[in-house]
Copies of this chain bind each other. A is one copy, B any other.
Amino acid sequence: MVCRMQCSSPGPRKGRARPTGRTGRPRSAEADAAILDATRAALVELGWGKLTMGDVAARAKVAKTTLYRRWASKNELVVDAVAVLFDELELPDRGCLKDDIEGVVLQFAALLARPETKTALMAVVAESTTDDALRNRIRSAVVDRQKRLVVQGRERAQRRGELPKDTGDPEGAASAARSVDMIFDVIAGAVVHRALVSGEPVDAAWAARFTTLLLGGLGSLERED
A-side residues, CB < 8 A to B, are: 46-49, 75, 115, 118-123, 125-127, 129-131, 135, 138-139, 143, 178, 181-182, 184-186, 188-194, 196-200, 206, 209-210, 212-221, 224
Contact A218 B209 (CB under 8 A): no
Complex interface: chain B residues within 8 A of A129 (CB): 47, 115, 118-119, 122, 196
> In the complex, A190 Cα to B188 Cα: how many Å?
8
Q: Which residue of B is nearest A50, CB measured?
A: B130
Question: Which of B119, B189, B198 contacts A193 (CB under 8 A)?
Answer: B189
Contact B216 A212 (CB under 8 A): no
Complex interface: chain B residues within 8 A of A188 (CB): 189, 193, 197
Contact A178 B209 (CB under 8 A): yes
> In the complex, A222 Cα to B31 Cα: how many Å?
54
> In the complex, A101 Cα to B123 Cα: how many Å?
29
Contact B216 A198 (CB under 8 A): no
Q: With A129-B47, A220-B217 known to touch, is A209 a contact of B196 (CB < 8 Å)?
A: no
Q: With A119-B126, A126-B122, A189-B191 known to touch, is A215 a contact of B220 (CB < 8 Å)?
A: yes
> In the complex, A46 Cα to B217 Cα: how many Å?
40
> In the complex, A120 Cα to B191 Cα: how many Å?
20
Complex interface: chain B residues within 8 A of A135 (CB): 199
Complex interface: chain B residues within 8 A of A200 (CB): 181
